[in-house]
Chains A and B, each alone.
Chain A
Amino acid sequence: MSNHPSLKAGERAFNVLLLLLSLGVLYEAYRITGFDLPNSAGAFPLMLGAIMIASMVAILWGQRRHTGPGTQGALDEARHFFSEHFPLAIIVFSAMAIGYLFLLTFLGFISATAIFLFVSQVYLRRGHLLTSSIVTAVATGIIYALFKLLFQVYLP
């Protein structure tokens, strides 16, 4: 194999983060019952931690000769990563989603859901006020009827 596939922007960094996570898992597993093998609450978690580390090392090792994402320096790579995977639409939508969760606790289910559905649709569709409000009303109504009335699920 002469030409190695190139890595995505941020790929190596993400894999290293996952490796750190695996080390954390191993440490947490060790804290459960120490190395008290073969039959204890910690035995299986220790094995899982080891497997996570081993497979992640294998992934990183397999990528050692892959060419980089073709960016200049860490800052450029980060910028590249965000422009590729976190375009404005995703960031704004995530912010709306988080806002929705906050609204849920303050406004209750119906108003929060209606506001979220309407605002996010208008944003994502760049307008279409009328259809957005119709969809919002219908969807909120259906969800409310289904969950609250039919299945008596408690909604926030």
Chain B
Amino acid sequence: MADSVSYFLMAWLDPSLLMLTAIGTLAGIYVGAIPGLSVTMATSILISFTFSWDVNDALALIVGIYTGGVYGGSRTAILLNIPGAPSSVATSFDGYPLAQKGEAGQAIGLSTVMSVIGGLIGVAVLASVAPYLSDMALQFAPRDYFLIAVLGLLLVGSLATESLSRGIFAAALGAVIGLVGLDQVTATPRFTMGSMQLMGGIHYVVVMIGMFGVAEAFFQLHQLNAKPVRQKVDKIVPSLHLVLKFLPLSIRTSVIGVIVGALPGTGGDIASLFAYDHAKRSIKKPSRPFGTGAYEGLVAPETANNAAVGGAYVPMLTLGMPGDAVTAIIIGALVIHGLNPGPMLMIEAPHIFWFTVGNLVLANIFLLIFGLTGIKVFAKVVELPKAILIPLILVLCVVGSYSLNSSMTEVYWMLGFGLLGYFMKIFRFQMGPVILGVILGPLMDKTYRQAMSSVGDDTGSFLLSLVTNPLSLVLTIAVVLLLLSNTPLKRVLLRHRQT
């Protein structure tokens, strides 16, 4: 016990570890904020500085970048409607309208505090029940991942505020975009039109940057001469009253985040969408209607994606299995430093566990400090004349999509999706469901086929397996309830009753 405490406090007491965590968090915030610069990339570059260092130094730096990076994506989502990373897509739904109402500062302030709360809840879960959570995560069979993907796709119902058929169309289109390329199972080309370039698929960040960033920039050109919204920059730190008011919601969405994050195969992007949906469903009287600047719509995804960080560490520390790309890099770092990241890590090197936990807490404290400083300057970005802002957004989109693969192909695609997104926006299609489809379509395809193979390609046994296993049954019931509650079925039923 005393050992655990001393490892927990290690990063707090050692000035160089303290400094590294701080630098990592700060760098992470900016990396995360820039679309195209991913946390994965930043971690792998910075880790190369750390070969000769002590393993703790390397881990401290990564923990900082990871925590900062997941949070940073919300900055551009709120200010420019360009999510810095897929896990911030849901943040833009209400964050950007807030900035348009002159509350960018408050939105960033709130998202910072909430990210920290989510992050801390994630760490608390990691510290207290990691072994149990990882055992639970292992229980998820392919059919359960399939059900999760179905659940996710049903979120279309709450993302598509305009019309459900438009939402479904957009989600299906997104899924098709996500499936482009060689099939993961049989290497059959799908939707590649014989092009070698397309065999590797279309990077979903390209779709995201194009449909959110470029399409939005084009839209803004219409209001070139509109006076920019004056930003209120007093009261940036949310009041205790406000934080307490959202605490029950943030605890629920953090739990969603940490569980989804702990499943190897799903992460912060899916977690934040689930959380947004949960908020929309459970909060009857939001501060404003969802999609027009509801604080609840900002709180939910921001807590969830930061809680997912703690979740992602669960399978890594308990089983040696990476929960996502960043934890895969951490495993690599441990190997380089002679540690054996596997199921024995908790027993052979318990200090790594407590050091990581302590470090994550520390990184969240730095996140609070760095996140709340300089907001006034950032909020002013929205006040820039559109004529200056729009060219800058376009350059950012170009650099972001180029740096994904160091090739111009992605940039052309990005511009193409921007144009498509502009047209779709004109005719009241929404972008959220498209991204949902791009993220969940491939997951659904893969897990459906794994589940089918597991039961010998027999549709009957497949359907049976969805209700005969306790976990699957719970998920199936959730799917059915969701279907009944928010999709056309309910409306159709109600309409029939009315006529």
Q: Which A residues lie at the B interface, using CB under 8 A?
A: 8, 10-11, 14-15, 18, 22, 25, 28-29, 32-33, 38-45, 48-49, 51-52, 55-56, 58-59, 62, 85, 87, 89-90, 93-94, 97-98, 100-101, 104-105, 113, 116-117, 120-121, 124-125, 132, 135, 139, 143, 146-147, 151-156
Please judge, given known A-B contacts A38-B459, A121-B387, A154-B406, whether A45 and B176 are in contact too, CB under 8 Å. Answer: yes
Q: Is B403 in contact with A97, judged by CB distance below 8 angstroms?
A: no
Please judge, given known A-B contacts A38-B457, A90-B221, A151-B41, whether A28 and B398 are in contact too, CB under 8 Å. Answer: no
In the assembled complex, the Cα of A11 lies from the Cα of B428 at a distance in Å of: 10
Out of A40, A52, A143, which one reaches B395, CB within 8 Å?
A: A143
Q: Is B398 in contact with A104, judged by CB distance below 8 angstroms?
A: yes
Q: Is A25 in contact with B191, judged by CB distance below 8 angstroms?
A: yes
Q: Is B427 in contact with A11, judged by CB distance below 8 angstroms?
A: yes
Contacts of A18 in B (CB 8 A): 169
Out of B179, B391, B412, which one reaches A101, CB within 8 Å?
A: B412
- Asked whether B490 is an interface residue with its Cβ less than 8 Å from the other chain, the reply is no
Q: How many residue-residue contacts, CB under 8 A, span A and B?
A: 156
Out of A45, A121, A151, A154, which one reaches B179, CB within 8 Å?
A: A45
Contacts of B453 in A (CB 8 A): 39
Please judge, given known A-B contacts A45-B179, A58-B165, A124-B224, whether A146 and B391 are in contact too, CB under 8 Å. Answer: no
Q: Is B169 in contact with A55, judged by CB distance below 8 angstroms?
A: yes
Which residues from 407 to 437 on chain B have a C-beta closer than 8 Å to any C-beta of chain A?
408, 411-412, 415, 422-423, 426-427
Q: Is B427 in contact with A151, judged by CB distance below 8 angstroms?
A: no
In the assembled complex, the Cα of A146 lies from the Cα of B41 at a distance in Å of: 14
Known: A29-B190, A32-B190, A153-B37. 16 other contacts (CB 8 A): A29-B191, A32-B183, A32-B189, A33-B188, A41-B185, A41-B190, A45-B191, A51-B169, A59-B163, A104-B398, A104-B408, A116-B391, A124-B221, A135-B388, A147-B37, A147-B399
Q: Pick 18 A–B contacts, CB within 8 A, sort by A.
A: A11-B427, A18-B169, A29-B191, A33-B188, A39-B452, A39-B457, A44-B445, A44-B449, A48-B175, A48-B176, A52-B176, A56-B165, A117-B391, A121-B387, A121-B388, A124-B391, A125-B385, A132-B388
Task: Decide if the interface of chain A is mainly helix, strand, loop or mixed.
Answer: helix
Q: Is B165 in contact with A117, judged by CB distance below 8 angstroms?
A: no
Out of B45, B218, B386, B441, which one reaches A151, CB within 8 Å?
A: B45
B45-61 Cβ-contact flags toward A at 8 Å (1 or 0): 10000000000000000
Out of A32, A124, A151, which one reaches B390, CB within 8 Å?
A: A124
- Asked whether B275 is an interface residue with its Cβ less than 8 Å from the other chain, the reply is no
Contacts of A62 in B (CB 8 A): 163, 165
Q: Is B395 in contact with A152, judged by CB distance below 8 angstroms?
A: no
Q: Is B403 in contact with A41, judged by CB distance below 8 angstroms?
A: no
- Asked whether B479 is an interface residue with its Cβ less than 8 Å from the other chain, the reply is no
Please judge, given known A-B contacts A89-B224, A101-B411, whether A44 and B172 are in contact too, CB under 8 Å. Answer: no
- Asked whether B444 is an interface residue with its Cβ less than 8 Å from the other chain, the reply is yes
Contacts of B449 in A (CB 8 A): 39, 43-44
- Closest residue of chain A to B449 (Cβ to Cβ) is A39
Contacts of A155 in B (CB 8 A): 399, 402-403
Q: Is A156 in contact with B408, judged by CB distance below 8 angstroms?
A: yes
- Closest residue of chain A to B395 (Cβ to Cβ) is A113
Report the minimal beta-carbon distance from B457 to chain A, rounded to whole angstroms: 5
Contacts of A153 in B (CB 8 A): 37, 399, 403, 406
- Closest residue of chain B to A131 (Cβ to Cβ) is B388
Q: Is A120 in contact with B391, judged by CB distance below 8 angstroms?
A: yes
Please judge, given known A-B contacts A14-B423, A97-B394, A101-B415, whether A55 and B408 are in contact too, CB under 8 Å. Answer: no
Which residues from 438 to 497 on chain B have a C-beta closer than 8 Å to any C-beta of chain A?
441, 444-445, 448-449, 452-453, 457, 459
- Asked whether B222 is an interface residue with its Cβ less than 8 Å from the other chain, the reply is yes
- Asked whether B5 is an interface residue with its Cβ less than 8 Å from the other chain, the reply is no
- Closest residue of chain B to A119 (Cβ to Cβ) is B391
Report the minimal beta-carbon distance from B167 to chain A, rounded to whole angstroms: 8
- Asked whether B255 is an interface residue with its Cβ less than 8 Å from the other chain, the reply is no
- Asked whether B34 is an interface residue with its Cβ less than 8 Å from the other chain, the reply is yes
- Asked whether B279 is an interface residue with its Cβ less than 8 Å from the other chain, the reply is no
In the assembled complex, the Cα of A52 lies from the Cα of B172 at a distance in Å of: 6
Contacts of B398 in A (CB 8 A): 100-101, 104
In the assembled complex, the Cα of A8 lies from the Cα of B45 at a distance in Å of: 49
Report the minimal beta-carbon distance from A2 to chain B, rounded to whole angstroms: 16
Q: Is B179 in contact with A44, judged by CB distance below 8 angstroms?
A: yes
In the assembled complex, the Cα of A43 lies from the Cα of B190 at a distance in Å of: 11
In the assembled complex, the Cα of A117 lies from the Cα of B391 at a distance in Å of: 6
